[in-house]
Structure 1
Amino acid sequence: MMHGRPLAVRLAALLAVVVVVVLVVAGVVVNQAASRSLDETLTEHDRQRLGLAVTFVDEALRRGIDEHGLAMLLQRVAAESGGSARVRAADGAIIAQHGGPLRGRQTETLTTGLSAAAGGGTLEITVPTVRGGFLSAFNFALVLTGLVTVGGLLIAATVLASRLTRPLRAVAHAAQRLGNGDLSTRASGGPDAESRELASAFNAMATRLEQSEALRRRAASDLAHD
């Protein structure tokens, strides 16, 4: 009767832990790299466009542009950025905006402060980004890869453990037959040196037991004849 966890389970668990650790580390590294703020990933051209937008809005507010003119200016900013734009007052209230939420798309908002002469508010530009979709697809692929890999490791570990333990099971069965009185039983080792040494030691013990039993029977027979 087998006690404890089978070797296949322990081997698969060990390999699975290694794979999971590697995948988790890879996932953390990629997610952190992709989760940098959009401001860190802006190209120089994008920075120039953003700077011009802030300059135009700031100057327009300092000149006292009316609500309609500010809305038209934000419409231009939103069109060039491919998203939406809004101006907030210093207390957070929206003064003017153009464009609404981009449904079904991942977005990120760039916030830049305006000068005190322009009211001290902020200009917010919300732009679409593919980062969120990429992370979702990457994380899904990572989980799927982990599940498939762990399943493959379990199968491989089962096959490998079966090959490794087959000689040991043969010795165990031979020992059971020996214990049941079959002194002629012998074990054959596997292809590895360890199992051959184990089988050789078992066979030597079985031979000594068989010889001892033969001597005992001979002595008993001699005593009976006497």
Structure 2
Amino acid sequence: MRTRLLVGTLLLATAAIVAFFIPAAFALDDAERAAHEAELQREAADAAALLGERYESVRGVGPDGGVDQDGDDETDEDGGEDDETDRPVPAGADEDHLFGLYDADGRLVLGVGPPGADDPVRSALRGRSATARVGDLRVAAVPLAGGGAVRAAEPASEADVRTRAAILRLASAALLVLLAGSVAAWLLARRLTRPLRDVGRSATRLGGGDFTATAPTTGIAEIDEVASALNTSATRIGAMVARERRLTADTSHQLRTPLAGLRVALETELAHPRPDPTAVLTEALGAVERMEGTVDALTDLARDEEVGAPIALDEVVAAAAERWRPFLRAQDRPLHVEAASQATVSARVAALDTILDVLLDNALHHGLGAVTLAAEAAGGSARVVVADEGRCPLADDRLFARRSSSAGRTGIGLHLARSLADAEAGRLRLVDQDPTTFQLVLATVPGGG
């Protein structure tokens, strides 16, 4: 891309320079020609002022004055130019400029020039200054006040050399502009391609699973829009993947207890078969249904596909007690239930079931003695208390911190329970470490109890 930008910019700059250079060269040629002619006319006018008095002194004089008694000009042996030892040169004029003084009849009187008047001299004799190219000379002629004319000539090659020098300067300036354009194009291409490479690297990292990859801002609106869209996509995809990972870990954690119960029931039935063989199948089917419900509930909770509705808190507490009483009884641990709050709360049943399952599972595996499950209403809120007779070694802030799923049975369930409580506009906290006492506070529905 950098090469294409650079080549495109250079082609555009070259086309612009050529489009400007050609007419500028013609205009410069015309300007140089006009300047040379003006300079030559000025020198001719200076020569006219210098030769005016001399013309009066030689008018009508014989051979010694440059005009013979017959009125013919004296010429050199080569047929037309006077001896240069007598040519007048105004101050400031170039040494190779030729000046000639002509009388009113168009004859050369002094200086260097053709014996007879040429077109510029004839125009000057008629009272008009004139400039023209005659052979290899550029000629200018100006009239004299008392009659006659002064002719100034310079080699045409001199003007051509000046014109070529001016065009060469113009071409040099064009090359400098092209060089500056090349540098600017290179810097622009670099400024444009570098952020695009950064965006590309960020996209590659995102494709490789690094959702923390972000494309930097560049100050270029179009590229920043692409970078912003990529960063937004990375954030959303990262959140989605993290949610799915949490769902996997939470589901695995919540399925451990029902799977363990199902295994115990099957092993017990194998060791001590009951007269009714369908009893264990019924229990197993119920366990499978509870696991399916757990998976569906966690999936809905993770994707926020369910909206809370008014539910009777006592019924949720009683259902949780029925689910966990067999597990506690298997360890000879009593479960005391106090569910007479008559409170109605707005929450998702799956969320409350999962919170209570986590707290009761924690009491089963990490607590001691009897377990208490109580629901009570107080003012505009309802409280659910889960307590046992053991001691919790961790404070509230560390207890609910999410840890790796490889850390056994700790670090996932309680964090999940607190997250669900927060999602239901409730609050779950450890109110006492000894004995271990958890409290879930929920807002009640007005008029519901």
Conservation of the 8 A alpha-carbon contact between 2:37 and 2:140: no
Give the corresponding residue for 1:201: 229
Conservation of the 8 A alpha-carbon contact between 1:86 and 1:125: no
Conservation of the 8 A alpha-carbon contact between 1:177 and 1:185: yes
Give the corresponding residue for 1:150: 178
Per-residue CA distance 1:145-167 (angstroms, 9 max, x = gap) = 22233122212321233224322
TM-score for the superposition, normalised by structure 2: 0.33
Give the corresponding residue for 1:92: none
Per-residue CA distance 1:80-134 (angstroms, 9 max, x = gap) = 584464569xxxxxxxxxxxxxxxxxx525499xxxxxxxxxxx98633542221
Larger-gyration structure (1/2): 2
Deviates more, 1:202-211 or 1:172-181: 172-181
Quickly say closer, same or farther: Cα 1:38–1:165, change in 2 above 3 A: closer
Quickly say closer, same or farther: Cα 1:128–1:156, change in 2 above 3 A: same
Any gaps of 5 or more consecutive residues in structure 2?
50-54, 61-66, 90-96, 99-111, 117-135, 142-150, 256-290, 292-449
Give the corresponding residue for 2:419: none
The RMSD of aligned alpha carbons is 4.5
Any gaps of 5 or more consecutive residues in structure 1?
89-106, 113-123
Give the corresponding residue for 2:25: 27
TM-score for the superposition, normalised by structure 1: 0.58
Give the corresponding residue for 2:191: 163
Give the corresponding residue for 1:71: 76
Give the corresponding residue for 1:127: 154
The one-letter code sitting in structure 2 at the alignment partner of 1:75 is: D
SS in 2 for 1:127: strand
Quickly say closer, same or farther: Cα 1:196–1:145, change in 2 above 3 A: same
Output aligned runs, 1:92-131, within 5 Å.
Answer: 108-110=137-139, 127-128=154-155, 130-131=158-159
Conservation of the 8 A alpha-carbon contact between 1:189 and 1:196: yes
Q: Which residue, 177, 190, 202 being the options, matches 1:174?
A: 202
Give the corresponding residue for 1:184: 212
Q: Which protein has the bigger strand share? A: 2
Per-residue CA distance 1:23-66 (angstroms, 9 max, x = gap) = 444333211222359767634627969xx9xxx9xxx8xx6849
Conservation of the 8 A alpha-carbon contact between 1:8 and 1:162: no
Quickly say closer, same or farther: Cα 1:163–1:5, change in 2 above 3 A: closer
The one-letter code sitting in structure 1 at the alignment partner of 2:163 is: L
Give the corresponding residue for 1:140: 168
Quickly say closer, same or farther: Cα 1:16–1:39, change in 2 above 3 A: closer
Query: Percent of aligned pairs with the same residue?
Result: 25
Please state how far the C-alpha of 1:8 moved relative to its aligned partner.
3.5
How far apart are the structure 2 equivalents of 1:47 and 1:208? 91
Deviates more, 1:202-211 or 1:161-170: 161-170
SS in 1 for 2:82: helix
Please state how far the C-alpha of 1:141 moved relative to its aligned partner.
1.8
- Say whether residues 1:214 and 2:242 are aligned partners: yes
Quickly say closer, same or farther: Cα 1:19–1:37, change in 2 above 3 A: closer
Please state how far the C-alpha of 1:192 moved relative to its aligned partner.
4.2
Please state how far the C-alpha of 1:12 moved relative to its aligned partner.
4.2
Conservation of the 8 A alpha-carbon contact between 1:9 and 1:158: no
How far apart are the structure 2 equivalents of 1:39 and 1:151? 35
Report how many aligned residue pairs link the two structures: 188
Deviates more, 1:150-159 or 1:14-23: 14-23
Deviates more, 1:22-31 or 1:131-140: 22-31
How far apart are the structure 2 equivalents of 1:24 and 1:176? 50
Give the corresponding residue for 2:318: none
How far apart are the structure 2 equivalents of 1:64 and 1:75? 15
How far apart are the structure 2 equivalents of 1:156 and 1:38? 38
Conservation of the 8 A alpha-carbon contact between 2:29 and 2:163: yes
Q: Which protein has the bigger helix share? A: 1
